[in-house]
Chains A and B, each alone.
Chain A
Amino acid sequence: MSWLDRQSFLGNDSDETLAALTVGIVGLGGGGSHVAQQLAHVGVGNFVLLDPDIITDTNLNRLVGATFSDIQAGTYKVDIAQRVIVGVNPNAKIEKRISLWQDAAELLKECDVIIGGVDKIRAKHELDAFSRRFMIPYIDMGMDVTDTGGNNYLISGQVILTGPGEPCLQCLGIVNEGLLKEEAQTYGDAGSKPQVVWPNGLLASTAVGLFMQLVTPWAGRPRTSAFLEYDGNRNSIVEAAALSFFKTRQCSHYMIRDVGDPRFDMRKLLAKEQDVQTPNQKLPQSWWNRFIRWCSSQRD
């Protein structure tokens, strides 16, 4: 009997499938911390955790796994997520970086799915583009609290599943020039956005549900794109109309051929590998060696 026995309806080999997968979680705050916890519970075996921040007292209202003593100790958010994951599944393998995701993007290239819990529109846009370049399905979560006047607030949010060939965040209106410009202009004085735990949890659960449907479908052929809108005042999650508009249209922002690294050169990769393996046998950088290398590069 396995600890995942109660989810055997996900498929005979779902335990092995999930254990072999690597999920990148970018942003381990209110949304990302829930995602990390749930993916550990379902048996995902490998994680890439990226977040540059330390937990602060204003995170404690929603960051799953965080304790009051973490605030006193100044614990990094990735370390809290690691503690939660390993607490559930000691066999989980975790690669973590206390950095912006752009500085650890190499680690994300090998991920099977990336889940983003980032606030900034620019970050969402860049993660979407990065995921497409390496043909990685991307799940984006976002939440907002809007002041509607008269001491009334609207809690809203969305979860988007996208990937190569599917409508992108620009197609779906999450990213556009106006929003990027507005964000750039208010950079530094936007203050802290209101965030609360229950919409974070709900959106994270929805994201995990989309992930599970993608990798261990339990009913028919799974969807490869989704745009689910959350209305926290009505307590509803509905499919956004914007997605159906793209059922008969192609994404015009990213071409399917624009994948991989255009600068990739196998010869350079092999030379680099050889340098690492035999550092003491490296040839001196004489003018002759440099000249030979220059001649070789001109032939490409």
Chain B
Amino acid sequence: MKVSLKIMRGLLEHVRQDLKRPHSFAYERVGFLIASAAGTPRGILLTICDYQPVDDEDYERNESVGAEIGSDAMRKAVQAAYRPQRTLLHVHTHGGLGRPEFSSVDLISAEEFVPGFFYPVPKMPHGLLVLSDDDASGLYWQQPEQKPETISDFIIVGGPYTRNWRT
């Protein structure tokens, strides 16, 4: 199944800027992209319609990871995607140029929290995204018990219109 992800260029730039803001103790910031979905002849089209940053007070101290967020952050994200039901994509940035890769910590923690999005929002696929300064990689879960799959196409709508997130 081919999954394409679309985002407005202005929103993407805002997300990158927001994730670069320093936090008082966390090494990096995270946020949530909120997307609608539609079936297409070859798969699914995810259209990102909003971004929800994690509030400063919802980070928790943990020296062993870049950022750890608490249950309030998860609750707020789910609340934003609850009515109408929307896809939740956890997002953070590794910076730099080129196609980013998920770290093992990213993948292990996602295996724990992404399936949790399906309890309140069962209609939609959910996943996670990692950005660089000019590209992105993404995974999505079709169902909580299934293995994640790769998001195949990244499309930036705006000037210029870009497919594959190559800017």
Contact = CB atoms under 8 A, between A and B. Distances in A.
Given A261-B37, A266-B142, A267-B123, A221 B49 contact: no
B160 A215 contact: yes
B84 A259 contact: no
Given A110-B41, A165-B8, A20 B163 contact: yes
Interface band, chain B = 35 or more
B92 interface: no
A231 B40 CA distance: 40
Contact of B42 (A110, A133, A163, A256): A110
A134 B45 contact: yes
Contact of B37 (A214, A224, A260): A260
A261 B36 contact: yes
A261 B124 CA distance: 11
Interface in A20-57: 20-21
B50 interface: yes
A300 B123 contact: yes
B47 A106 contact: no
Given A267-B122, A267-B143, A270-B143, A223 B159 contact: yes
A164 interface: yes
A260 B123 contact: no
Contacts, number: 99
B161 interface: yes
Interface residues of A, number: 40
Interface in A207-266: 214-217, 221-224, 256-257, 259-262, 264-266
Given A110-B42, A134-B38, 13 more contacts: A17-B163, A107-B41, A109-B45, A110-B45, A112-B155, A164-B8, A259-B49, A261-B37, A261-B39, A262-B84, A264-B36, A267-B123, A270-B143
16 contacts: A110-B41, A110-B42, A113-B161, A134-B47, A137-B161, A216-B160, A217-B159, A224-B158, A257-B49, A261-B39, A262-B84, A264-B37, A266-B44, A267-B123, A273-B1, A300-B123
Interface of B: 1, 4, 6, 8, 10, 35-42, 44-47, 49-50, 84, 122-125, 142-143, 155, 157-161, 163-164, 166
